[in-house]
Chains A and B, each alone.
Chain A
Amino acid sequence: MIFSEGLNKNFKIYRKPPGFLQSLKSLFYREYHEKQAVDSFDIHIPKGKIVGLLGPNGAGKTTLMKMFTGIIIPSSGSLKVLGYTPSKRERAFRKKIALVMGHKSQLWWDLPAMDSFNLLQRYYEISNADFKQRVDELSDLLNVTHILNIHVRKLSLGERMKVELMSSLLHKPEVIFLDEPTIGLDLIAQKNIRDFLIQYHKKTGSTILITSHYMADIDALCSELILIINGSKRFDGSIKQFENLLGSEKIVNFSFSKPIENENGVWQQFKAHWNHDNTQVELSIPEKQMREVSQKILSEYPVCDFNTDKMPIERVMKTLLENPELAGPYR
């Protein structure tokens, strides 16, 4: 489906100090230097998978997406998507992919979404019958039937994102690239988009590559994820493996109704982190001892609340963003 080996992308950038004179100077002389945005990247995404592409801002996620869709040309390395070379930008290839960008609208701003859809119908050569069925089906799934005839600029961000998604699915793409599709949306709108994607994927079995900074998106949608930091791959595997990347201990939080004497007892062996007045502790407990240790603490101390990590993936991600060296080079 998507297959790359040793993929590289360098950007030439030049620095221009502020000011008009410097602008004038830069017309004649520019000091370029190269920035390696993507560094010998190997990827293999099989058909029908939803894969998350994670990484901090500026790590190269969007650059990868741009290369996969043929918008920019790789500096070196091989890349095949659906058997095509994206940078050749053949029409047959373009008809089989879709790109949705959360922070950029592809619809005509001053017209109702339906006008854009009609245009896309022609661009993708969709027959009238197919088109009608497709619009009905998708607008039903996304619950947007009532807003298709409203000017896009008058829609809320959540509504706009839905029609944006809809517009890029009209032609039944085989591979869908989603670049931060839930960015800036409220919790309900985020959930709606996620639910839709899950349903849509179940129905069509299309391959989806998604980037997001919201771990909830990744957790809900993806079976596998790829981590990219500074242009190179640091992790590629299942979510389960990712959660255990920094050790398989479970993180458990206990709150107590009064301060606890923490010099002795079970605490030290589980890497305890106490709050300032000793009423809360975070423990890393090996999965096997989880039951036993929790029971002991619950029965021996005045516990008023306790919880385990809701989204281990978020914790791992946060730790890796703070200390990228923990991820180590990709094996």
Chain B
Amino acid sequence: MKPFLLKWFQTMQVSWSNLMVYKLNFFLQIIGPMLVFFFIKLSLWSSIYGGYDYVKIGGYTLSEMLSYHLWVMIAGMIIMSSTASNLSEDIRLGKISSYLIYPFSFWEFHAAKYLARQVIQIIIALITIISCYFLLDRLYIAFEPVSLAIGFFVALLAGYYWFAANYLIGILAFWLDETWTIMVGLQIMTYFFSGAIIPLELFPETMVEILYWTPFPYISFVPAKILMGHIPPLLPVIGILSFWSLFITLISYLVWRKGLSLYTAAGM
């Protein structure tokens, strides 16, 4: 293996060992909220529909709506790994000093850590898909290998975007004492504008048109739809997502350089 791959792989391994120490913590922080969120939406939409499956809202029957939210949750598992709060803490408490000395960068370290968690979450997502396939009525869950493959691919791209956005917010800690407020702000905006609560078909049309140019729909709505078997033209999806990912990575790079010149390694 190439040395740089070994570095990444070993970092991922250490992250896994660390996750094993905090299994319960991991479950409660990442998987727990996803499940809770899913069940809240389940009961919310069930009562909105009044339990009737012939009612259509925004083109969705109740079972289609529930199936949509199931896929949103699965997409979330693939995309949204740990947030940037521990990253900010590393900066504020001067813990990044070690990573300024090791011949492995802070960015690489956090990317590898993110990837490590993502791998575990993808396994959980696969288990969820398989168990849904066997446990639920086939109506709830479309199971087409092609759309699953494309859906996973788009979700992985979106996963990188989500990492980059969180990384950027995390390193704002060079200036701000508390970055979690921004992070929560981004999360709430994402939940709403990504279609994770209400599918985008129910949004005003002009708003949706604008939203398509932002990264939000690609976090939930688009991958969930693809996983369900509705494949949109892929070029704009990949194009817009890649643009935002690269754009944010570039800004992170500039912010990092500027931040480092201010860094005082407090508490080191």
Contacts and interface: CB of A to CB of B under 8 A. Distances in A.
Interface in B100-126: 100-104
A119 B10 contact: yes
Nearest to B11: A119
Contacts of A311: none
B267 A104 contact: yes
Most chain A CB within 10 A, of B97, B260, B261, B268, is at B268
Contacts of A91: 103
A89 B10 contact: no
Interface string B227-268: 000000000000000000000000000000000111111011
B268 A123 contact: no
B153 to A, nearest CB: 29
A186 B103 CA distance: 33
Given A62-B268, A104-B267, A111-B17, A71 B100 contact: yes
Contacts of A94: 101-103
B265 A111 contact: no
Interface in A61-100: 62, 66, 69-73, 89, 91, 94-95, 97-99
Given A62-B268, A122-B3, A71 B14 contact: no
Contact of B268 (A23, A71, A89): A71
Contacts of B262: 12
B14 A119 contact: yes
Contacts of A143: none
Nearest to A11: B264
B258 to A, nearest CB: 11
A278 B17 CA distance: 67
A108 interface: yes
A125 B3 contact: yes
B131 interface: no
- Interface centre among A12, A94, A119, A125, by most chain B C-beta atoms within 10 angstroms, is A119
A70 B100 contact: yes
B265 A72 contact: yes
Interface string A96-126: 0111010010101011000110111111110
A120 B11 CA distance: 9
B18 interface: yes
Given A115-B17, A122-B3, A71 B10 contact: no
B27 interface: no
Nearest to A104: B268
A69 B261 CA distance: 14
A110 B21 contact: yes
A75 to B, nearest CB: 10
Contacts of A72: 263-265
B106 to A, nearest CB: 11
Given A101-B268, A110-B22, A111-B17, A71 B101 contact: yes
A22 B18 CA distance: 39
Contacts of A122: 3, 6-7, 9-11
B10 A118 contact: yes
A111 B18 contact: yes
B187 interface: no
- What are the 8 tightest A-B residue pairs by CB atom distance, in nearest-first order? A122-B10, A91-B103, A94-B103, A110-B21, A123-B104, A106-B98, A122-B6, A122-B7
Interface of A: 11-12, 23, 62, 66, 69-73, 89, 91, 94-95, 97-99, 101, 104, 106, 108, 110-111, 115-116, 118-125
20 contacts: A23-B177, A62-B268, A66-B265, A66-B268, A69-B101, A70-B101, A71-B263, A71-B265, A73-B260, A94-B102, A97-B101, A101-B97, A110-B21, A111-B17, A115-B14, A119-B11, A119-B14, A122-B9, A122-B11, A123-B103
